[in-house]
Chains A and B, each alone.
Chain A
């Protein structure tokens, strides 16, 4: 991760999330790549590291908790933000205990997420 441009990965099996988030986050100058499953996302992560990974929790093939664990195993600096439509205290506790940076519940406004990203980016000291 040598560039100052913030690299963000969005993973959600609901394609609308990536379609809507990509332009919203790119407005801030970030580089955004979107994926509809954890497997493809992790393959891409092998090739190139991302500063921030935003992942849905409930996905069919690989859930967000597994994505979180694998991303952090590869890159402890990466900030992982969880998004979910089924937010529960237990889920939030588990994700945070496993190292998630923060989480946001669907439906959400891009600005809600942007605030979390800005905070995370501040801690990355790019």
Chain B
């Protein structure tokens, strides 16, 4: 048992710690989403017939995707309070489908007899794999009910709808005026030289991803075009990393940018979420992996060079700042 003194001695978490914990959980959500999509891609690659697969491959693919989906839903529930009941109910529905695939894998005669989309010559293993792939993405009429990808979509919608702006104490905030926007800035590292609530310059912020986006805005400022959307802005900044949120309380207008540009391939990434009424929704860079949700679009890139990441952030800055 914990001694009472130990609890009494605990200090409240700082806003920065809260933001860092949320950021870590969000990274976990991205990792699990990426893992899920990688499994989809692996199944698609194996379905083309170049590989020799067996029934074990198909059933283990189903198991792995369900495991990832469970982790993903757990992340969402941590990030979006109150989302659990709906999402775990959806997860149970998907588990029932996964169980049905396991049963089908043991009934090869039925699989061999039933043609799928006219593909009667397919072997049972490939036939079942095609059914599993249809379930992943819901791309065929054969998939009854919501596909597995709907879990990911619903998860991100929940997170974006509910992760409004954290209540950041004034002592943690600085102000950055950028292209007419007032950004609330939270430094990942302490900056004792900068007074709370003071105005800081882009140079003082010294955040590489934000600097790249600002470069894009400078390019765009010289052109005619629609003015960027107004709203509340919050940037959590580090030297190589940025979390940028913007919105007006409506998930359809939400924007979230998470980026790390460090030159280390394993660490660098970019994630974007744009609500369906945000300007970026229709202008997500094509080189990103893009997924549609009911309230917006996700775009992300992991396997991207430093130079490509820089260029992409500049283009994103053209649209969002």
- Could you tell me which A residues sit within 8 Å of B by CB distance? 12, 14, 16-17, 19-21, 85-86, 106-110
Contacts and interface: CB of A to CB of B under 8 A. Distances in A.
Interface of B: 46, 50-57, 60, 123-125
Contact of B54 (A85, A109, A110): A85
A21 B60 CA distance: 22
B11 to A, nearest CB: 45
Contacts of B54: 12, 14, 16-17, 85, 106-107
A70 B125 CA distance: 30
A12 B53 CA distance: 12
11 contacts: A12-B54, A14-B54, A14-B125, A16-B53, A16-B54, A16-B125, A17-B52, A85-B54, A85-B56, A107-B51, A107-B54
B38 to A, nearest CB: 15
Contacts, number: 39
A14 B106 CA distance: 12
Given A16-B125, A19-B123, A85 B60 contact: yes
A21 B52 contact: yes
Contacts of B56: 14, 85-86, 106
Contacts of B55: 14, 16
Nearest to B60: A85
A106 B52 contact: yes
Contacts of A109: 50-52
Contact of B53 (A21, A86, A106, A110): A106
A71 B46 CA distance: 32
